[in-house]
Amino acid sequence: MFGNLKGLADQLKIAQRMMKDEKFRALMMNPKVRELVADPEFRDIMQSRDFSKMLAHPKFTPILKDPEILAALSRLNPNTL
């Protein structure tokens, strides 16, 4: 039981760090990214952390090919996330 709470607390800490990063916030404000994250099916896949399903989702592939989003991703500093 407490393991689940610790995992949730860890996820909240990561989310807080990510949202403090202005480059990450800018990426998340992109209308295409917002549309993808708003999709209930994709949200379920994100929560399950099934990366193969995430990569196979039909709305995810165009995101990875979008030059604007790729540029935003390249500007992210993994050490701050």
Question: Is residue 37 assigned to a domain?
Answer: yes
Give me the phi and psi of 10, to 5 degrees please.
Answer: -65, -40
Q: Is residue 12 part of a domain?
A: yes
Could you list the beta-strand ranges (E) of the chain.
none
Within a domain: 13: yes
Q: How does residue 64 score in pLDDT terms, banded at 50, 70 and 90?
A: confident
Phi, psi of 59 (to 5 degrees): -85, -10
**Is residue 81 situated within a structural domain?**
no
Structural domain contains residue 60: yes
User: Within a domain: residue 33?
Assistant: yes
Domains: count for the chain: 1
| Better-predicted residue by pLDDT, 16 or 68 | 68
Q: Domain containing 21: what range?
A: 2-75
Phi-psi label, residue 49: left if phi above 0, alpha if psi -120 to 50, beta otherwise: left
Let me know if residue 80 belongs to a domain: no
Q: How far apart are CA 28 and CA 13, in angstroms?
A: 17
Tell me the per-residue pLDDT of 1-46, one tens digit each, with 9 for 90 and over. 455 666 666 666 766 676 677 888 888 889 999 999 899 999 999 8
Look-up of token digits 């030059």 = 67
In which band, very low, low, confident or very high, does the pLDDT at 49 lie, cut at 50, 70 and 90? confident
pTM: 0.65
**Would residue 50 count as lying in a domain?**
yes
